């Protein structure tokens, strides 16, 4: 398990790094970024996972996310993976669309050819990358939390619901909460999983909650000027599911904010403070 | 004086905009970004000018600068211009190098052909753009300050020294302090101003101070791991000039930081707090 350092930069009283390794899950090289605040020798810090949205690599949040000041303040490691496998032989959307294939792995293991060979982001992120982080960084893997944006909000919610004992906090920015019911999810799930909708429910936060999956609480920020709000995001479906399930959802509709990093960065420090409180409880 | 709105995004409790106008100084379209925090109707806010470094447009600091939270907290408008004229007919470096021509205007008015027609960033930023800001934004032009990075640090220092009554605070990240004495400046000044070095001194912070220009105080942050430190930046020359002139220079050597926005963003909030204190005094 060799880890290649692509770049490191000192920032906000810590080290922002970009790393590359050969993934056994995706059978490709994978890049991710990690911020580690300065810390006393021998100490281990809680880990916040950030899953990015459609079209993104690790670079978007690493450059625009404004997370480092808060991570340094609270003593949190921040891990930002890529959103799909990439490289030679990795199939893409047949028409090169932004919402399937490269940059659009949807945080699941594909079962349909030709995507089933490389598109295994669930196994990569649930089973493989945590081991890499534990081995190479001063990470306290008993204290993890997860957040994400849009498709990555979908990832954070579904990973959190599937692993309630692993993640002490789950939050999202403008998440896809019910992919089975919206165009982005219908296209992705058809392509990666096939047309049998019973398999879709395992990767659909609202369906998972209806089927009994539970976390104690969820924090969601959603901009009211988000162009994807009505067609793709539908936070009211998550609100309904959480209300019925007794999950304590804090859904904050942020007036005038859109779907961009100008929105995410505005509330990143809030989310990290909320995570820190739960990671250190 | 028509102002075209390229984009606006709500962010950090304010509005981040990108705007375009036809500049009479450069005879080209010019783009700039402005962040305006929410404010009571009818109030006018102090203005912080940020001048960017080589290769940058307004977009670099707008996306990576992490200035909005602090500007919202202190009630500051943040203006980020481009670093050169661009567009049809604007001459570039003959070999397309990054350190001359496009993205490298050096905040002066060129006197040598063919650059003298469009490369007029001094007139653009000292005379023209302030009028645009005053007309179209809720700006209190009696309370302005200026900062910049690298080539933009050179711009901030020279504009501040030339206009001590206009700018209530002057600061810089890793500035070029003595362009006449370093390769970047020698190339740019030769190309834009010609070989007569007497003209160079009007755009060289250290030379201006030696010739009698004064500001009360200057704040500079400089990374010790900056690859340009020894050859291009030479902050010790500014320290010497300020010491002789009685200018109160705070020069902070930041251990391990480099020349990137990972560095700038780490100390942006510090600089803005320092500016705010002086803008509101």
Q: Kindly report, residue by residue over B223-238, the tens digit of the pLDDT.
A: 999 999 999 999 999 9
Give me the DSSP letters along B182-203: SHHHHHHHHHHH-S-HHHHGGG
Assess contact for B24 and A278: CB atoms under 8 A: no
**Looking at the partner chain, which of B11, B223, B258 has a beta carbon nearest the beta carbon of A265?**
B11
Query: Cβ atoms within 10 A of the Cβ of A239, count?
Result: 16
Q: Which residues pair with B7 in a beta bridge?
A: B18
Nearest chain B Cα distance for residue A266, angstroms: 5
ipTM (interface predicted TM):
0.95
Q: What is the mean pLDDT of residues B160-176?
A: 97
Identify all chain B residues contacting A9, using CB atoms and an 8 Å cutoff: 258, 260, 262-263
Please give the residue range of the domain that contains residue A209. Answer: 3-280
Q: What is the mean pLDDT of residues A136-150?
A: 98
Measured on CA atoms in the order B259, A69, A141, A147, is the torsion positive or negative? negative
Q: What is the mean pLDDT of residues B145-151?
A: 98
Assess contact for B255 and B59: CB atoms under 8 A: no
- The predicted pLDDT at position B194 comes to 98
Distance CA B20, CA B18 (A): 7
Q: Of A220, A227, A275, A217, which is closest to residue A253 (Cα–Cα)? A: A220
- The predicted pLDDT at position A129 comes to 98
Distance CA A119, CA A25 (A): 9
Considering only residues 249 to 278 of chain B, which have any Cβ-Cβ distance to chain A shorter than 8 Å?
Answer: 255-258, 260-263, 265-266, 269
Distance CA B159, CA B175 (A): 13
Q: Is the pTM of this model over 0.80?
A: yes
- The predicted pLDDT at position B46 comes to 98
Q: Do A266 and B13 touch (CB under 8 A)?
A: yes
- Interface with A, mutate which of B13, B60, B66, B72 (most A CBs under 10 A): B66
Summarised one tens digit per residue, pLDDT across range B5-54 is 999 999 999 999 999 999 999 999 999 999 999 999 999 999 999 999 99
Q: What is the mean pLDDT of residues A49-54?
A: 98
Assess contact for B18 and B31: CB atoms under 8 A: yes
Element (H, E) at A72: helix A68-74
Q: What is the mean pLDDT of residues B239-248?
A: 98
**Looking at the partner chain, which of B10, B63, B64 has a beta carbon nearest the beta carbon of A256?**
B10
Instruction: Kindly list the catalytic residues of B.
Output: 150, 226, 259
Cis status of the peptide bond prior to B114, with omega within 30 of 0 = yes
Q: Of A170, A150, A160, A159, which is closest to residue A233 (Cα–Cα)? A: A150
Domain of residue B156, CATH code = 3.40.50.1820
Structure tokens at B257: 């930081």
Considering only residues 41 to 70 of chain B, which have any Cβ-Cβ distance to chain A shorter than 8 Å?
Answer: 63-64, 66, 68-69
Answer yes or no: is pLDDT of B59 > 90: yes
The domain total for chain B is 1
What percentage of chain A has pLDDT greater than the value 90?
Answer: 99
Identify all chain B residues contacting A260, using CB atoms and an 8 Å cutoff: 9
Q: Do B263 and A11 touch (CB under 8 A)?
A: yes
- The predicted pLDDT at position B24 comes to 97
Distance CA A65, CA A51 (A): 12
Q: Do A13 and B266 touch (CB under 8 A)?
A: yes
> Measured between CB atoms, does B159 come within 8 Å of chain A?
no
Summarised one tens digit per residue, pLDDT across range A176-215 is 999 999 999 999 999 999 999 999 999 999 999 999 999 9
Summarised one tens digit per residue, pLDDT across range B88-139 is 999 999 999 999 999 999 999 999 999 999 999 999 999 999 999 999 999 9
Instruction: Kindly list the catalytic residues of A.
Output: 150, 226, 259
Q: What is the mean pLDDT of residues B188-201?
A: 96
Identify all chain A residues contacting B68, using CB atoms and an 8 Å cutoff: 265-266
> Measured between CB atoms, does B116 come within 8 Å of chain A?
no
With DSSP H G I counted as helix, E B as strand and the rest as coil, what are the percentages for chain B, rounded to 5?
Answer: 35, 25, 35
Answer yes or no: is pLDDT of B1 > 70: no
Identify all chain B residues contacting A69, using CB atoms and an 8 Å cutoff: 66, 266, 269
Query: Cβ atoms within 10 A of the Cβ of B201, count?
Result: 14
Identify all chain B residues contacting A12, using CB atoms and an 8 Å cutoff: 265-266
The CA-atom distances, in angstroms, between B73 and each of B130, B142, B154 are 23, 20, 27
Distance CA B239, CA B3 (A): 41
Answer yes or no: is pLDDT of A255 > 70: yes
Nearest chain B Cα distance for residue A211, angstroms: 37
Structure tokens at A83: 């959103």
- The predicted pLDDT at position A1 comes to 63
């Amino acid at each position: 398990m060799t880890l290649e350092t692509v770049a490191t930069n000192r920032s906000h009283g810590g080290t922002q790094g970009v790393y590359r390794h050969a993934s056994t899950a995706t059978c490709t090289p994978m890049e991710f970024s990690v911020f580690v605040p300065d810390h006393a020798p021998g100490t281990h810090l809680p880990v916040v996972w950030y899953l990015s949205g459609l079209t993104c690599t690790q670079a978007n949040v690493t450059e625009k996310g404004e997370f480092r000041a808060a991570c340094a303040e609270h003593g949190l490691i921040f891990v930002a993976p890529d959103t799909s496998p990439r490289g030679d032989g990795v199939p893409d959307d047949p028409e090169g669309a932004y919402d399937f294939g490269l940059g659009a792995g949807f945080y699941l293991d594909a079962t349909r050819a030709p995507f089933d060979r490389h598109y295994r982001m669930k196994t990569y992120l649930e089973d493989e990358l945590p081991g890499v982080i534990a081995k190479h960084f001063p990470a306290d893997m008993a204290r993890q939390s997860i957040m994400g944006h849009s498709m990555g909000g979908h990832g954070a919610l579904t990973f959190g619901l599937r692993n309630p004992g692993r993640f002490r906090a789950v939050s999202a920015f403008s998440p896809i909460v019910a992919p089975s019911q919206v165009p982005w999810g219908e296209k992705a799930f058809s392509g990666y999983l096939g047309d049998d909708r019973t398999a879709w429910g395992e990767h659909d936060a609202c369906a998972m909650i209806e089927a009994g999956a539970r976390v104690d609480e969820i924090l969601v920020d959603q901009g009211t000027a988000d162009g994807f709000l009505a067609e793709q995001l539908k936070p009211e479906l998550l609100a309904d599911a959480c209300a019925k399930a007794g999950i304590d959802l804090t859904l904050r509709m942020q007036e005038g904010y859109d779907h961009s990093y100008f929105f995410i960065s505005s509330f990143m420090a809030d989310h990290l403070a909320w995570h820190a409180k739960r990671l250190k409880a």
